[in-house]
Structure 1
Amino acid sequence: MSLTALGFTLVFVAVALFISMWQKLGLEKDLFVGTIRSAVQLLAVGYVLHFVFRSDRPLVVIPILWIMIAVATWNAAKRGTGLRRVWLRIGISIFATEFVTMGLLLALGIIPLSAQYVIPISGMTIGNAMVVSSLFLNQMKREIASARGEVETLLSLGATPRQAIHDLLKRAAKSSMIPTIDGMKTVGIVQLPGMMTGMIVAGASPLEAVRYQILIMFAFASSAALTSILLSMLTYRLWFTKRHALDGNGAL
């Protein structure tokens, strides 16, 4: 794609700005900032990855993965405002998900130990884990608000915090996985995912693109399940006080 063609893509942003002003949505500032940030960030990443792929040294990949995990943790933690040290639980969950997923891919020989494969697939895995974390925390807040009386009743009857909140955790974990599962059901029919589309546009065989997309979708299913289950195990205590009373803010 030429720079001129790339510049013409701003037409799509202009359409969004026009609709926002027309309907008085108040999104003009966010759209402008998002456009600038996404362009700058992607260009910067492009130059960094160009250097990393050319050097192809595993030790260079590790800091990049840590940065990805840190940024994903910070972003997801914003959904857990009021929960003490929730960022630590999210970070552990995302790291464990990335470690297990990438470990299996490398151990089974599905992908080679190369920056060209590890970084893009890790980025998608970590990004999916971040979204699942955000959805889990949002749903848990709603569950706590709507089922507070139920949980307090169970606690008064002698249930442990884990027992009292178990059903809420299950519903939150299920809810956080729905987008991933729905995506698996409709992929290839309703949508052609980004990785597959990018490979086809770049000239790769559609069959080869499909194989990698299947890999990503299956890895997404695993990472979503791992992240949601780990978060439910690591965060349930945050919704209670030291005396095991339900605390809507999750502060210990």
Structure 2
Amino acid sequence: MIVLGPLFAVVLVALTALGAVVLWLGELGPARAVVTAAVRAVVQLAAVSLVITAILRAGWLTALFVLLMFAVAAVTSARRIGVPRAVPAVAAAIGAGVLPVLALVLVTGVVPWRTIAVVPIAGIVIGGAMSATSQAARRALDELKTRHGEYEAALALGFLPRAAALEICRPSAGQALIPALDQTRTVGLVTLPGAYVGVLLGGASPLQAGVTQVLVLVGLLAAEAVAVLVAVQLVAAGSIARS
């Protein structure tokens, strides 16, 4: 277990300062971005910890909390892509990845219908689908912008607008899956991801922690693959487009 106390606070401050100084000296961006992110993480996790304590007592509250996470993910992703008015389309891409994964693991009973199990699994899958959607859509839109001439050439050759857009943006958008693929391929050899460490620190056996982490990684990979596919299709169809 992580030891809470004054030293814990000192370590957090030191790590935040390290990140901020590196950004400042390396001219990689504003140092305050690291500080702001760290402060927000502390405040938000403290608030969420208190909220989850109450949520875990009722199933309907858990459902509402998962819906809230999904809504925040859709809005965040839309802003990151640069299409704040296309939240419904972005939500469709994220939802297309999240729903089948959660349905499969819950309906089969692999993940028990208990609030303490549903909330973290849902949060992990939603977060992964959100990141994949953001990256795929951004790459696709950027590619269509920089290679607009090729897009027009494809139209001149008789391609329909959607097919022409897919020819341009699909390959680069698929690169959004690289982080998930690399993490899954190297788990246990390069990294021990959060789910494994969390279950292990919670007192479970290494085998149980490993089983949990495999389920999370494969579920994430499936959710992100579907989310990327739908995001690219929506970009090609013009449903996700920058004004």
TM-score, L = length of structure 2: 0.90
The aligned residue for residue 52 of structure 1 is 55
Moved more, 213-222 or 88-97: 88-97
Does residue 86 of structure 2 align to residue 80 of structure 1? no
Unaligned regions of 5+ residues in structure 1, if any? 241-248
Moved more, 211-220 or 132-141: 132-141
CA contact (8 A) 2:137 2:173 kept: no
Rounded to whole Å, the distance in 2 between the matches of 1:51 and 1:140 is: 41
Does residue 66 of structure 2 align to residue 65 of structure 1? yes
The aligned residue for residue 130 of structure 1 is 130
Does residue 20 of structure 2 align to residue 17 of structure 1? yes
- For residues 2-43 of structure 1, give each alpha carbon's deviation from its aligned partner in whole angstroms, at most 9, with x where no partner exists: 232421222211222333444455532212211211100000
Does residue 2 of structure 2 align to residue 3 of structure 1? no
Q: Secondary structure at the match of 1:112?
A: coil
In 2 relative to 1, CA 208–239 (structure 1 residues): closer, same or farther, beyond 3 Å? closer
Partner amino acid for 1:28? A
Rounded to whole Å, the distance in 2 between the matches of 1:26 and 1:222 is: 33
The aligned residue for residue 154 of structure 2 is 154
Moved more, 194-203 or 38-47: 194-203
Backbone CA RMSD of aligned residues: 2.0
In 2 relative to 1, CA 143–19 (structure 1 residues): closer, same or farther, beyond 3 Å? closer
Q: Secondary structure at the match of 1:37?
A: helix
Q: Secondary structure at the match of 1:236?
A: helix
Map 1:1-252 onto structure 2 (within 5 A): 1-9=3-11, 10-53=13-56, 55=57, 57-81=58-82, 83=83, 85-238=85-238, 250-251=242-243
CA contact (8 A) 1:86 1:235 kept: no
Partner amino acid for 1:34? A
Partner amino acid for 1:192? L
Q: Secondary structure at the match of 1:154?
A: helix
Aligned residues: 240
Partner amino acid for 1:237? A
Rounded to whole Å, the distance in 1 between the matches of 2:84 and 2:73 is: 18
Rounded to whole Å, the distance in 2 between the matches of 1:61 and 1:4 is: 33
Shift in Å, 1:142: 2.8
Unaligned regions of 5+ residues in structure 2, if any? none
TM-score, L = length of structure 1: 0.87
Rounded to whole Å, the distance in 2 between the matches of 1:162 and 1:26 is: 37
